[in-house]
Amino acid sequence: MAARSRSAIGALGAPGASSISARRDLARAQALQEPWPFPQKAAALCWGPAWFAKGVKMCKSVTPKRALRRSRTCCCSTGRGRTQCRKIKPHSLQEQSSSLMGFAMTRLLRVDKAWEELSNILSGIFCASLNFIDSTNTVTPTASFKPLGLANGTDHHLLRYAVLPREIVCTENLTPWKKLLPCGSKAGLAVLLKAERLFHSSYHSQAVHIRPICRDASCLAVSWELRQTLTVVFETFPSGQGKKDWSLFKMFSRTLTEACPLASQSKIYVDISAKDKEKELLEVTPSPTSVHEAIVQGEKRTYAVYDLLSPSLFNTSRSLNVQLKWKRPQDSLELSTPVLHAQRYVSGYGLQTGKISTLIYNTHPYRAFPVILLETVPWYLRLYVHTLTIITKGKENKPSYIHYQPAQDRRRPHLLEMLIQLPANSVTKITIQFERALLKWTEYTPDPNHGFYVSPSVLSALVPSVIAMKEVDMEQSPLFTSLFPSSDGSSYFVRLYTEPLLVNLPTPDFSMPYNVICLTCTVVAVCYGSFYNLLTRTFHVEEPTRGGLAKRLANIIRKFRGVPPL
């Protein structure tokens, strides 16, 4: 029945030097590739840690931060493709938005200034529109985010988070991103990053993470780690027929020839786990260097590992083209639902009020767990907090923590954070009503009838695992664990971004100012015209005439009555 095959590309790494600090660090890169049942396949590529080109150093030096996370993603497909990819990979997907968050270490007064500088520099480095981040879309979450890496303070006043739901990633963002890789796109796994293939996909996400880490085991000095990740969901099974074979060449239209010479680790993980009896149906060529078993997000998975650094891999042929074949065509395509997933939509009619509904699903058979929900809503949607309702299984669900910061017009957005307990096997519906504000006519975007985006809400949760997980050794496979983080043996961390919403605001007719001017002028001109006419007209004294028919009739009557005529 369920044809589940996963492939993962592994890690490529490099010892590189972050130059001015005269320090050498390991730079590794990893690509993880997972073919989703039908019709998509996901590939996650991950590079790290610690590779500093000048640009990144710049943003580091301008804004010393505890941790900086910047992620730009886009999902090009719609409907089914979208929901599916979100359901499948709940841990890192985010759609059509750029987000930026950072912990600034500078003093509080200067945080906002540093934040502004940071977003400007990043927009310069990555050719992105991040410079549109300002106070109207920046919030200071209290509970949803914590600094990554070495940081003991968790003062949320230093945290800033912003999302630009309108911005999508494209080639111009990929090129500077690729330049930050140690070998550029000249060698190693980055050779696969061909823009026309990557953006011809259902889902694309690229991210840059910077965080402080220990320089060595004794942890006396701090190094900065830069991690770059790229996640792509491909549609690789073009012509039905139930054929789900794929190869690197088919996906990226390139093959691998060598590892990046700077890499200390360079591996491809191909997910070959299959349910029980279907194991024999899969075939990967060439034969993997090793097989890795891991429990990832509560599921047992088997990976075929290709270590690009092992010379035997390139012995037989000069290039590596990993292929996965099915021994017989698959027909059923069942998707296992993730334990935590969410859905959001806007409802209501008319242009005055509306309602934002968020559905959070917990499909875990027997465990309840809490989830932190972060909502940022722009100021032009005026939220009515008293209409906030959280309903689970027909009963009201009271959040155990709630933080609400109301918006200020043209200054800051609404911020709503809640800690909600999700009972086992339940759907929680969160609704809140809003009113649409009227904007000034210069505040509308160039295409106002397209609507205004509301940024995705963020769900953070420690999801209990269905099966027991064992502690993963971070040192052994650092990138693998960073792709699939787990906090302890029994649960794993999931951060989920819902889809952005598109809300129509009452849109005026933009020729209105001209019409008003014309109308006013016309009214004034008409009044003025008659007034002028009245005042400057020359009046003649008319000679009295003999009188008309009425007068003659009146005189005849007067004659009869014996009264003198008029």
Which residues sit at the interface with other proteins, rule CB under 8 A? Answer: 16-17, 19-22, 52-55, 57-59, 61-62, 120-121, 123-125, 176, 179, 182-184, 186-187, 260-262, 514, 517-518, 521-522, 524-526, 528-529, 532-533, 535-541, 543
Q: Least CB distance from residue 191 to other proteins, whole Å?
A: 11
CA–CA separation, 82 and 256 (whole Å): 30
CA–CA separation, 151 and 66 (whole Å): 6
| Strands (DSSP E) found in 77-188 | 97-104, 138-139, 159-164
Q: Least CB distance from residue 117 to other proteins, whole Å?
A: 8
CA–CA separation, 460 and 419 (whole Å): 9
Tokens of 532: 């002028």
Q: Least CB distance from residue 534 to other proteins, whole Å?
A: 9
Q: Which of helix, strand or coil describes residue 222?
A: strand
| Residues 355 and 384: beta-carbon distance below 8 Å | no
Comparing CB distances to other proteins, the nearer of 35 and 102 is 102
Q: Least CB distance from residue 144 to other proteins, whole Å?
A: 29
CA–CA separation, 445 and 129 (whole Å): 15
Comparing CB distances to other proteins, the nearer of 131 and 136 is 131
Q: Least CB distance from residue 14 to other proteins, whole Å?
A: 8
Q: Least CB distance from residue 520 to other proteins, whole Å?
A: 8
Comparing CB distances to other proteins, the nearer of 345 and 528 is 528
Letter for the amino acid at 18? S
Comparing CB distances to other proteins, the nearer of 176 and 451 is 176
Q: Count how many Cα atoms sit within 13 Å of the Cα of residue 92 in the half-sphere of its side chain.
A: 26
Comparing CB distances to other proteins, the nearer of 193 and 295 is 193
Q: Least CB distance from residue 204 to other proteins, whole Å?
A: 23
Q: Least CB distance from residue 121 to other proteins, whole Å?
A: 5
CA 136, 137, 142, 146 dihedral sign is negative
DSSP string, 477-529: SHHHHHHS-BSSSSEEEEEEE-PPEEE------TTHHHHHHHHHHHHHHHHHH
CA separation, residue 61 to residues 66, 212, 432 (Å) = 12, 13, 41
Comparing CB distances to other proteins, the nearer of 257 and 353 is 257
CA separation, residue 131 to residues 47, 137, 515 (Å) = 26, 11, 35
Q: Count how many Cα atoms sit within 13 Å of the Cα of residue 281 in the half-sphere of its side chain.
A: 20
CA–CA separation, 99 and 374 (whole Å): 14
- Say how far residue 388 (Cα) sits from the centre of its chain: 24
Comparing CB distances to other proteins, the nearer of 124 and 370 is 124
Phi/psi for 555 (5° steps) reads -65, -40
Comparing CB distances to other proteins, the nearer of 385 and 524 is 524
CA–CA separation, 161 and 208 (whole Å): 15
Comparing CB distances to other proteins, the nearer of 64 and 184 is 184
Tokens of 336: 């296992």
Comparing CB distances to other proteins, the nearer of 125 and 501 is 125
Q: Least CB distance from residue 532 to other proteins, whole Å?
A: 5
CA–CA separation, 486 and 281 (whole Å): 30
Q: Least CB distance from residue 56 to other proteins, whole Å?
A: 9
